[in-house]
Amino acid sequence: MQKAKLNAQIRSTHSKSELKQIRRTGQIAASVYGHGFESMSISVDAAELAAAVRTEAGLHALIDMSVDDAPKTASGVVVIKQIQKDPVSRRLLHVDFQRVLMTEKLSTETPIELVGAAIGVHEGGVLEHVMRSLHVRCLPDQIPSHIDLDVSDLDIGHALHVSDLPLPAGVEPLAQPDEVVVAVRQPTIHVEVAAEEAALAEGAPEVTGEQPSAAEQ
């Protein structure tokens, strides 16, 4: 997997005014940690970060980070561990980077994407995508950007499990093999209203002819 390049600058303070200034200059507040190093507050260029993850690996991209005006040991290969976005504008607010060693396995999460149209859906079943991402363990350069799962042969009442996922070599799932990933369920038929109407009809008196008037009773 090819590494993307990203330059970073040290942040000295965490004040709101500094964060606003960082954003005005096209930077994003971030931190980097891992492998015995204390967490370091940094900022990165938003455009450079966007370019770094605009690859097939996406947010799982390996990034060769260099930190200006910092010891050489502060630089190295990192991955994106967490991102924070504004809940309204969805603007990127903060990124956590984790240092990694290319020879050491790490744990991460990768999305599961369904491929094909399930037979059971054509027969009236309901497709339930139960597990949308999978926790895996592997070397940094083996992290899959996503996992494709073919559901074409999935019939009503059948399911595919973690053990059915086509994982690349070297990628170990951190979930139980029998956990359901996707299933096709029988459609739910709402019969409560029909049953109530039938019960009311059975209990109602039969009406034949005209009802007697008050004088005749």
Q: CATH 2.170.120.20 in the chain, residues?
A: 107-185
More confident residue, 188 or 145: 145
Q: CATH 2.40.240.10 in the chain, residues?
A: 4-100
Q: Which residues of 161-195 are buried (b: 16+ CB within 10 A; e: fewer)?
A: bbeebebeeebebeeeeeeebbbbeeeeeeeeeee
List pLDDT tens digits, range 31-90.
999 877 778 899 999 999 988 888 877 888 899 999 987 777 677 899 999 999 888 988
Give the chain's mean pLDDT: 85
Of 11-15, 105-109, 119-123, 191-195, minimum mean pLDDT range: 191-195
Q: What is the CATH number of domain 4-100?
A: 2.40.240.10
- Whether the pLDDT of residue 118 is over 60: the answer is yes
List pLDDT tens digits, range 138-157.
999 999 989 999 999 999 99
pLDDT bucket at 190, cuts 50 / 70 / 90:
low
Contact 114, 129 (CB under 8 A): yes
**Predicted TM-score (pTM) of this structure:** 0.73
Which whole number is the average pLDDT over 115-136? 96
Contact 165, 147 (CB under 8 A): yes
CATH fold for the domain made of 107-185: RNA Polymerase Alpha Subunit; Chain A, domain 2 (2.170.120)
